[in-house]
Structure 1
């Protein structure tokens, strides 16, 4: 079990992007890897098909994952603030 989001660790999948993404987004390879990780978790049954995607700031008081990256993930399927 990870320690990525207090109160959510037991019922979530957490992953991170290395870098600062307040003004710029991660490269396409990193974004695609994250999306593939989500799909892999769903296809293997580790993540419900009806999952909800959230940013770290949606469950803890933080600016993570950075404004630029947050704008990107808000457009991904199943995102809910």
Structure 2
């Protein structure tokens, strides 16, 4: 986690780590910015990062279950709306994140929102984000 934070600050000139939470292959959930601070992607969003290379590897069952637990906890604790929309970074901009192998799973989860795909509206339009939103606010 310290390496990820140091990279965000030193290499990307950010004030802190990017995402709210990080989920490891072992199923552990690590706090990045937590519940109380906006992530670097977009206001009014919760950023959860899968730690690993999921263009090459398949996420573990523990990692997938931990992420679903985190989302359920966020919903029941009212950190996110009961009708939240689940969007992957590759839907908001040209990116390999979260990786094809993670995307294959999450696009079948409840609350997945197919924005930016087929005839669906651009991601972020419901939040009033510009048409050319690149995932950064």
Output the TM-score relative to the length of structure 2: 0.53
Structure 1: 5+ residue runs without aligned partners? none
| Higher Cα radius of gyration | 2
Output the CA distance in 2 between the equivalents of 1:77 and 1:2.
23
Moved over 6 A (4+): none
Task: Count the aligned residue pairs.
Answer: 77
SS at match of 2:57: coil
Tell me how far apart the structure 2 counterparts of residues 11 and 61 of structure 1 sit (CA, whole Å).
Answer: 21
Instruction: Considering fraction of residues, name the structure with more helix.
Output: 1
Match of 1:65 in 2: 98
More strand per residue = 2
The aligned counterpart of 2:87 is 54
Secondary structure of 1:53 counterpart = coil
Question: Of residues 15, 39, 44 in structure 2, which corresponds to 1:2?
Answer: 39
- TM-score, structure 1 as length reference: 0.87
Determine the structure 2 residue equivalent to 1:35.
68
Structure 2: tracts of 5 or more residues without a match: 1-37, 115-137
Tell me by how many angstroms 1:75 deviates: 0.6
Counterpart-to-counterpart distance in 1, 2:106 and 2:94: 18
